[in-house]
Amino acid sequence: TRKPASNDLDAPGTIERKEMEEVLEALYKIEGINAESAEDKANKIFYKLDRNQDGELDVDEFCRGCLEDSNLVKLLNSGIDHEKMEDDLARQEAEKEMLQKRYQIQYEEFDM
């Protein structure tokens, strides 16, 4: 069995309800949502995804749940500001190029 991504906190290859709750609580805090509601939401999501009701989500249950529920995917991605991340990467690349040009000019002046 493959392991789910970073949501598997104790690493046996499954996600337990408490782990789901901790992940949602962290996401809620990032979004400025009352973290106390994370427990209720985690229970609802977990119950929905745990198809065999064994108290753990394996990678197949987790992936199927994400494929079937676009709202779950949005929730799990909620702490990620993709536009800001792209802007930051573009800014870093521009700064890198500027520094490379600046140091190349200084090096050429020193070399003369």
Say what the pLDDT of residue 10 is: 52
pLDDT digits (tens, 9 = 90+) for 14-62: 888 888 888 888 877 877 777 777 788 888 888 888 989 998 989 889 8
- Identify residue 31 by its one-letter amino acid code: E
What is the per-residue pLDDT for 95? Answer: 87
The token pair at 62 is: 């987790």
pTM here is 0.51
Q: Decide: 10 and 19 in contact? Cβ < 8 Å.
A: yes
User: What are 84-110's pLDDT values in tens digits?
Assistant: 667 778 888 888 888 888 777 666 666
Contact 36, 49 (CB under 8 A): no
What percent of the chain clears pLDDT 90, i.e. is strictly above it? Answer: 1
Per-residue model confidence (pLDDT) at position 72: 76
Residue 3 has pLDDT above 50, yes or no: no
Exposure class string for 26-56: b at 16+ Cβ within 10 A, else e:
ebbeeeeeebeebbebbeebbeebbeeeeeb
Place of tokens 């994400």: 66
